[in-house]
Structure 1
């Protein structure tokens, strides 16, 4: 049989397909960060369309675009903020979409883009490896010399990607098994708990904070086993995949831990206990929060609040009833966030650690930033300061705009904006009542906080230029 002749339309379709693939292949090679952001925004648009479908809502009606958009942003960015009641507004199909969206978002914008770039290119090339490795070290997208040993070497990127997928499945599976008995004992039907336990596990490990039941954590407010498991899952999600990768290889050999892993774990644990102590001091006499509870309940819930303000998003207490001083402390913890390449947001604990070490070294009169027998290069400090400055700028602009739109209390606006930037999910109640223009501003803040300030900076800079000359030195007065 003679081969069928190709029509002009077939040839045009093949040419267009080839050009599209070449465009994305070239984009992954020229600017991995831009490609990552493109994929991330595309996912948000796709999920916005899905959430807008009538059968995604429990009442069978089309969800308003602003609410669908913000839910897609909050889901893909594993944030936890919502403009609708997440437990009652969505149908079972909508809840499945939320679950899948958080799983995709948990993988991380850079790692997900690396996988898609690998599919398009049919191989994990050097540029794609650099992009994946940047999830463990943002300096790889920032550019410039990297003098110290990296958290993840280029040859280990394949193992890192496998660790991301495997650790997500294993950890969430174990968490779901540990949560299931408590849910059944709390009166949740066994067949309902089969769905809600994995949902809670996913929301905890991804640091999202959505709850599948209308009562939220109220049925488990005094179930310390349930709450402790949630805190453990949030901790594992917030330390980051590179740290999990390091712990998997050298769990009992602390000396072999990378400097990144040491700084992440030490700073995370220190902020957890410091936050708990401060909340305990500030709220012990507040009858609307911790004032009516005994010593054990007060201490535990203060620590739980400290863990959730780091990026967890679950809440037992009414955040709107906290003292203003406690809200400010919560803002500080949320702004820092969790570890790099984690499901948490914020400027990251390693950024805080590097800046704090630099201040300490300056106070001691040291010419270099040193810790654990290692010297931290000056370019790392420059990136840390840039991240801090960009983060503060984003929060300030969003706070000003939303305050101007809503005329709401500055403290409430600041708390919710930092919660959005840090992809935490805690709210004073402001976000649910925002008008549409403010919803879009809050959504953009979430995106910028999740994508990361270093990635945004790398995406804006098309190329890195090397200056082969040095200008004369002149010292301005500082301080």
Structure 2
């Protein structure tokens, strides 16, 4: 009996030791930052498997690439396509794409929000996450409460948008009620999640001057793009003076970029017969709204960008690269990153050592993080464009547009995606995955790895410029 007890005790001790090693390994390797790419990769593979089923296709094609490319694009809420969703996929396949968009958008919002809270308070997310704003404490509670709030916001915005679109499709375009409802729900979900997928072969080009289609979709895009933390703060109806710097930068930056985008799109395309020239004045204004909103990582297009002016394409490249707000469904380097760098440059020009925004100062670590995210984004986009130039016969204007669109998870194209070889499609898939997952994890990793240094080395000034 004594020997048996000793044996049991030894086994229990070894089991505890093994559990300790597993826990240590998990804490080092399976961190939230590393789990995000893994989770999305698993969802992508599952989605590709569903789309590979015969029931998901309306055609007899057996090529694996359309399923894999569409799954990456849907889960990363991008919208780039190599096949026509309206004709290539069956209703079951379209429903699978919609599910992937919803899972991708919901996962991105929640994961980005949770990582933002983790970075802000540096607490574990197993039991509770508490975020503190600059003016007052905001208790998000445990993970379940965060998920419920995100789901409620998503459901309300998508539901209202779906009702408006369904009514418009039913009344103005003579769709029967089931078809109108399906079109309304699909495009509402695609809009709020900034996915850009459409059930129409020409995307939203047939509705370029229809305000009852373009405006609701644009509003849903903006609400999805500004981010969950900003929406929560706006819903509190707190005075402008109590807004956090993050909310101020996101809201004012979004309004500024929308105004610039809409205005320049109208100026560049107003008289061009290939795009807006044949529309009425009211139709041109509606089309300009789409032209300024859709590049903010939504991916819809109400004009043929293959026929757009070069200056429009360049402006769209810039808007796509900047993207929307943090912890939302938008891509790009984010509005806050862009504005923090802008204020850093402005304060440097003024000769100020400290970077200030309003009555708050921005730490040097935040500035370095913004610079890192922006430069890494530029590097990825340039590398993608170079690879596309090597693998295709298209010019720089088209390949750069495609590279920025994929990295910023926008989904716009000048029309070359359909004809790209498989090697170039793999490049775009990598860009979509890096652009969607990389910006979140990179920003979080940079913040989490920020450690105070207890000493300073002697300074030396290299020649700049």
Partner of 1:3: none
1:44 lines up with 2:72 in the alignment: no
Cα 1:39–1:399, aligned 2, differ >3 Å: closer, same or farther?
same
Deviations 1:61-82 (CA, angstroms, capped at 9, x unpaired) = 43x2222111111000000000
Per the TM alignment, residue 467 of structure 1 is displaced from its structure 2 partner at its CA by 4.5
Aligned to 2:105: 106
The answer as to 2:220 corresponding to 1:223 is no
**Conservation of the 8 A alpha-carbon contact between 1:238 and 1:344:** yes
* Alpha-carbon shift at residue 106 of structure 1 (Å): 0.5
1:22-43 Cα offsets, whole Å, 9 max, x none, are: 6799258852100111111111
Residue of structure 2 in register with 1:34 after alignment: 34
Q: Sort the Cα spacing of 1:237 and 1:114 in 2 relative to 1 into closer, same or farther, 3 A.
A: closer
The answer to whether the 8 A contact 1:114-1:129 is kept is: no
- 8 A Cα contact 2:227 2:326, kept in partner: yes
Match of 1:317, SS? coil
Q: Distance in 2 between matches of 1:244 and 1:111?
A: 13
Pick closer, same or farther for the CA change 1:29–1:162 going to 2, 3 Å. farther
Tell me the CA shift for residue 365 of structure 1: 2.4
Which of the numbers 378, 381, 392 marks the counterpart of 1:395? 381
Residues 324-380 of structure 1, C-alpha deviation per residue, up to 9 Å, x if partnerless? 111011000000000001111000001111111111222222221212211111111
**2:235 matched to 1:248?**
yes
Q: Measure how far apart 1:47 and its partner are.
A: 1.1
User: Which secondary structure does the structure 1 equivalent of 2:166 belong to?
Assistant: helix
Between 361-370 and 225-234, report the one with greater CA deviation.
361-370
- What is the TM-score with the length of structure 1 in the denominator? 0.84
In the superposition, the TM-score normalised over structure 2's length comes to 0.87
Please name the residue that 1:10 is paired with.
none
Distance 1:457 1:235 in 2: 22
Quick check: 1:417 aligned with 2:403? yes
Contact 1:337/1:349 (CA < 8 Å) preserved in 2? yes
Partner of 1:55 in structure 2? 55
- Note closer, same or farther for the CA distance 1:320–1:182 as it changes in structure 2 (3 Å cut): same
Aligned partners of 2:78, 2:137: CA distance in 1, in Å?
Answer: 26
Structure 1 pair 215–454 and aligned structure 2 pair: CA distance change class (3 A): closer
Give 2:293's aligned residue.
Answer: 307
In structure 1, the partner of 2:89 is 90
Q: Is 2:333–2:374's contact at 8 Å kept on the other side of the alignment?
A: yes
Report the alpha carbon displacement of residue 110 of structure 1 after superposing the two structures with TM: 7.3
| Matched residue, 1:210 | 197
Partner of 1:183: 169
* Structure 1 unpaired stretches of 5+: 1-14, 116-124, 138-146
Distance 2:408 2:324 in 1: 9
CA contact (8 A) 2:262 2:292 kept: yes
Alignment of 1:278-317 (within 5 A): 278-317=264-303
* Corresponding residue of 2:76: 77
Count of aligned residue pairs for this structure pair: 440
**8 Å contact 1:338–1:345 — kept in the other structure?**
yes
The match for 1:475 among 457, 461, 464 is 461
Query: Secondary structure of the residue that 1:204 maps to in structure 2?
Result: helix
Q: 1:402 to 1:461 in 2, by over 3 A?
A: farther
The residue that corresponds to 2:254 in the other structure is 268
Q: CA deviation at 1:278?
A: 1.2
Between 197-206 and 368-377, report the one with greater CA deviation.
368-377
In 1, the alpha carbon distance for the partners of 2:209 and 2:73 equals 28
The DSSP-based 3-state class of the residue aligned with 2:413 is coil
Tell whether the 8 Å contact from 1:183 to 1:193 is kept in structure 2 after alignment.
Answer: yes
**Pairing 1:117-132 to 2, within 5 Å after superposition:** 126-128=123-125
CA contact (8 A) 2:109 2:150 kept: no
1:238 corresponds, among 216, 225, 230, to 225
Shift of 1:202: 0.1
Task: Give 1:435 deviation, angstroms.
Answer: 0.3
